[in-house]
Amino acid sequence: MSFYDLWQQQQWEHLALTINATTEAEVRQALASPRLDWRGFMALVSPAAAPYLESMATRSKALTRQRFGNTMGLYVPLYLSNLCANECDYCGFAMSNRIKRHTLTDDELGREMDAIKAMGFDAILLVTGEHQTKVGMDYFRRVLPKIKARFSTVMMEVQPLQAQHYRELRQLGLDAVMVYQESYHRSTYARHHLRGNKQDFRYRLETPDRLGEAGVDKIGIGALFGLANWRVEAAMVALHLDYLQRRYWRSRYSVSFPRLRPCTGGVEPVSPLGERELLQLICALRLFGPELELSLSTRESASFRDHVMTLGPTTMSAGSSTRPGGYADTSEDLAQFSIDDARSPKRVASAIEAAGLTPVWKDWDRALTGH
C-alpha cells in the first residue's frame, strides 16, 4: 500500500465538480469547525470561499503564531548542477535547452558556501537538475559531508531516490527532502514530462512514501500550480499530506507553492493561480495543518511576500540565485527561472522585522530543542 493506491481511488472530475459546487453555507461550516477535515479543506479552496478570505487569513495568522511564535525561518537554495536528463516543457534546465551545463567542482562548492555563509544563512536547500548518472549518489556522498560541516540544516531538492539511498544520506546529515509532484493529474503530467525518468508518474508519486520509510526528518511536497485545475491539485496535496502524516507520523511536513506564470518557458497555465487565490490556498492549508511548515520562495514578488508573511508562511528563501555558482560569481546565464523578489537577504530580514517577526537563520526547531 502506498499513496498511489489512495490516489487511484480519486476521480479528478468528481473532485472538480464537488469543489465548484461548494455553497457559502458549507464554507461557513468549514470555518466554524475546530479542525478542518479534507472536505472542509476543499470548501475553503472553492470559489465560494473567496469572499471569506479575510476571516480565513485572520484564523490562519492566529494558528501560525500560536504554533510557530513570531518567527520566520530563512533558507537559501544552493544550485549544485544544472545537468538534467529530463524534458519538462516548463523548465529552463530541460535537456533539449541549449544552455551551458555545469556541476560545481569541490573548489566552486567551497566558494559558494563561503558566499552563502557571508550572507548569514545556516539552512540550505541543495538543488540539482535530475541527472542520475552524473549527479547521483556518488556525487551526493562526496559533497554532503562537506556541506553538513558548515550548515546545521541541509535540505535537498533532487531527483527521486530509493529508500535505502535516503537512509544513507540521512546518516550523512540530510535533514529534509523536497519532492514536488508537479501535477497529480496523470494525463497533464504526461503532457509536460516528455523524456527521462521523470515520466514515471507512479515512482515520483511514491517518493514521499520512500522518504517516510527512510525516516527523513522533514518531507516537502507540493504541485506546480497552474498546470491543471489548481483547486483539485490543492485537494490532492492535502490528501497526500493527510495520508503521510498518519502513516509516517515521525516526520515533519512542509508545502511549497510554485506556480506557473504566463510565459514561464512558453507554457501557459490552464488554471492560473493569482495572488489572491494563492493566499486563499495558504490559509486553507494552515487551517488544515496547523503544524505544517509553509514555504514562500523568491519566485513571488517582494510586495506579495511582505503582505502575506504574517498570515501563514513559516519559511522564506532570500537572496536566491538559481544558477550553479551564482553566489560567488554573479553573472547571469545558466539560471533555471528568474526570481521576482531580488532583495538581499538583509533587506528581506528587515522586512520580516518590520512585520513584527523575528528572522531565524538557524532551523528554529533544532534551536529550540537543542538537537
255 binds ligand SF4 (CB under 6 A): no
- The residue whose grid cell reads 510586495 is 303
178 binds ligand SF4 (CB under 6 A): no
3-state per-residue secondary structure call for the chain: CCHHHHHHCCCHHHHHHHHHCCCHHHHHHHHHCCCCCHHHHHHHCCHHHHHHHHHHHHHHHHHHHHHHCCEEEEEEEEECECCCCCEECCCCCCCCCCCCCCECCHHHHHHHHHHHHHHCCCEEEEECCCCCCCCCHHHHHHHHHHHHCCCCEEEEECCCCCHHHHHHHHHCCCCEEECCCECCCHHHHHHHEEECHHHCHHHHHCHHHHHHHCCCCEEEEEECECCCCHHHHHHHHHHHHHHHHHHCCCCEEEEECCECCCCECCECCCCCCCHHHHHHHHHHHHHHCCCCEEEECCCCCHHHHHHHCCCCCCEEECCCCCCCCCCCCCCCCCCCCCCCCCCCHHHHHHHHHHCCCEEECCCHHHHHHCC
78 binds ligand SF4 (CB under 6 A): no
Of the ranges 69-77, 81-89, 137-145, 215-223, which one interacts with ligand SF4 (CB under 6 A)?
Answer: 81-89
88 binds ligand SF4 (CB under 6 A): yes
258 binds ligand SF4 (CB under 6 A): no
The three cell numbers of residue 164 are 535505502
Among 46, 71, 81, 86, binds ligand SF4 (CB under 6 A): 86
Identity of the residue, 86 or 295, whose beta carbon is nearer to ligand SF4 in the bound complex = 86
Which residues lie across from 126 on neighbouring strands? 78, 156
259 binds ligand SF4 (CB under 6 A): no
Identity of the residue, 91 or 244, whose beta carbon is nearer to ligand SF4 in the bound complex = 91
261 binds ligand SF4 (CB under 6 A): no
* Minimum separation from the CB atom of position 165 to ligand SF4 (A): 17
Among 40, 73, 129, 226, binds ligand SF4 (CB under 6 A): 129
Of the ranges 41-49, 89-97, 313-321, 351-359, which one interacts with ligand SF4 (CB under 6 A)?
Answer: 89-97
Among 59, 185, 198, 261, binds ligand SF4 (CB under 6 A): 198
Among 15, 94, 155, 236, binds ligand SF4 (CB under 6 A): 94
Of the ranges 63-71, 82-90, 215-223, 237-245, which one interacts with ligand SF4 (CB under 6 A)?
Answer: 82-90
Identity of the residue, 192 or 286, whose beta carbon is nearer to ligand SF4 in the bound complex = 192
327 binds ligand SF4 (CB under 6 A): no
Among 49, 91, 223, 292, binds ligand SF4 (CB under 6 A): 91
158 binds ligand SF4 (CB under 6 A): no
Give, to the nearest 10 degrees, the angle between helix 137-148 and helix 106-119: 40
Among 52, 93, 151, 189, binds ligand SF4 (CB under 6 A): 93
Q: What is the sign of the dihedral through the CA atoms of 330, 332, 334 and 336?
A: positive
Identity of the residue, 315 or 336, whose beta carbon is nearer to ligand SF4 in the bound complex = 336
Q: Total residues contacting ligand SF4 (rule CB under 6 A)? A: 9
Among 19, 42, 76, 84, binds ligand SF4 (CB under 6 A): 84
Q: Which residues here bind ligand SF4, judged by CB under 6 A? A: 84, 86, 88, 91, 93-94, 129-130, 198
